[in-house]
Every structure is written in C-alpha cells, then in structure tokens.
Amino acid sequence: MKLHQHRIGKGPELIMLHGWGLHSSIWSAGDNNLAEQLARHYRVTMIDLPGHGNSAALNEGFNFTTAIEIIADQLPPAAILLGWSLGGLLAQQLARQLPQQISQLILLTSTARFTQAEHWAAAMPTTTLDSFGSALSKNPAATVQRFLALQVRGSDNERQQLRDLKQALSESPSARPAALSSGLNILRDTDLRPGLAHIAQPTLCLYGQHDRIVPAAIGPSMATSIPQARHLTINGAGHAPFLSHPKQTGQAILEFIND
C-alpha cells in the first residue's frame, strides 16, 4: 500500500506523522507554520496515515502492527522522525524497529500509553476514548469536531487554533470511518512503556502546558524511560503547540536536532 506524501524543502530527510482524524495538511496550517520552518533546513516529508487525507483506506481499517509495516516500507534511510499524538505513538515503535534507519526522534505531545494505568496516572481515562468510540459510530464528523475542540482547550489563542485545525481538515478528504475507529483503538489499547528503554535514538519529548489529551506531567516519565531523551514543556500551549506557539515549537525542534 502506498501512502500519500507531500514533500517540501531540501536537505536531510525529516518525516512528519500527524495525529488522529487529521492529515498532512495540518503541518502547513497557520502563519509561520512548522512545515515551512523545518523545510528551510530539511527535506520535509508529510505522510497521510492509512485512510486519512489522500491515502487509500484499508477495507477494515488497520491495526497498530499493520500501520507500522506500511509506514516502515516507505521511510527513507537516515531520517529524522517527528510524530504528533497518534503519530508519535507510531514513531516510537518505528524508532525501536528501525534503529539504523531513524537517526533522531521527536515526540510532539505524545506518550507511550494514552490511557491511565497503574503508575501512569497522567493520562486520559479509558472512558474518555470509549465515549469517542461510541459517538463515532453515530456521527463521525461531529466526533472529529469534538476532538479538535479538546485539542485546543485551555491553550493560548484557542479560537484561532480551532479555526486553523478546521481549515486544515477541509483541505484534503476527511478520514474514513474505519480509519477513525482503528485510530481510536490504537490510542486506547497500545502500551509501549516496556519498550521505551530500547529506543536508542536521541529523543525530544515536547509537551503543552495545558494539554487535556497528553498532560505535560507525563514528560519526566517519558524522558527518564528513554535513554537519550529530554523533555520540554511549552507554556500556554495545549495539544497542538505547533499551532499555538509555532516559533517556540520550531525553535525547540531545530535546537534539538542541531545539538
């Protein structure tokens, strides 16, 4: 299966994986957007996950293993890998499986486990994702809109961010229902905590102060579990700091890569 990819810029390879319900256009949303910042220094490839945007859908959606296999087949060698939210969950596993192919890892408001568990309280209750799953079966479009609102809640420039998210969403085909359901299942069920110690790449864990989906309080646990990781919290940001604080987000990423 060939995933849709959009490339800009020249230089070393940098791959970007988006979050649930969206597509690669999100990286180009807003002024001074993250894709443009990074493309001044790198060859940036933005990938649409299966069934999202312009990527074809699998008939029954996809599971975590299938998504990893499909993305892995299309990654260039010696790439920097950046994943946001759900994309960050996929990026963690790809970094483990392809240590020679991925040079650095950037996890943008992502985590090894999205739902609460023992010794993992700084996460969403499983019931929250279950409620999204129940609503998804009745009205997929409304459920995605509700999730967009949750992503920006409590952050600076909340209304503008929501406008940017909705505008970006409208620029490519909407995610198919089976893909949306698959993504929620991955967010609810995946637990990568046991494998964090095996991520060999230098890693940046970047969080938003007011994130309601991946609380910034998870940052220290992520950074201490990954051998070569550091974490940073952007004040005033929610789940999409690259929209609310694009300059700070871009600067933090570039400083990490060049360190």
**Of 20, 17, 19, which Cα lies nearest the Cα of 132?**
20
Cβ(50)–Cβ(18) below 8 Å: no
Q: Where are the domains of the chain?
A: 5-258
Strands 43-47, 5-8: pairing is antiparallel
* Architecture of the 5-258 domain: 3-Layer(aba) Sandwich (3.40)
User: Both tokens of residue 24?
Assistant: 């690669």
Spatial distance between the Cα atoms of 195 and 24, rounded to a whole number of angstroms: 27
Task: List the catalytic residues.
Answer: 85, 211, 239
Q: What is the pLDDT along the chain (259 residues), one digit of tens a residue?
A: 899 999 999 999 999 999 999 999 999 988 889 999 999 999 999 999 999 999 998 877 789 999 999 999 999 989 999 999 999 999 999 999 999 999 999 999 999 999 999 889 889 899 988 898 889 888 988 998 888 888 888 888 888 888 888 888 898 998 999 999 999 999 999 999 999 999 999 999 999 999 999 999 999 999 999 999 999 999 999 999 999 999 999 999 999 999 8
Structure-block tokens of residue 4: 């849709």
Q: What's the confidence (pLDDT) of residue 247?
A: 95
pLDDT score of 152: 84
- Residue 204: closest CA among 84, 100, 42: 84
Query: The whole model's pTM is what?
Result: 0.95
- 230 contacts 200 by C-beta, under 8 angstroms: no
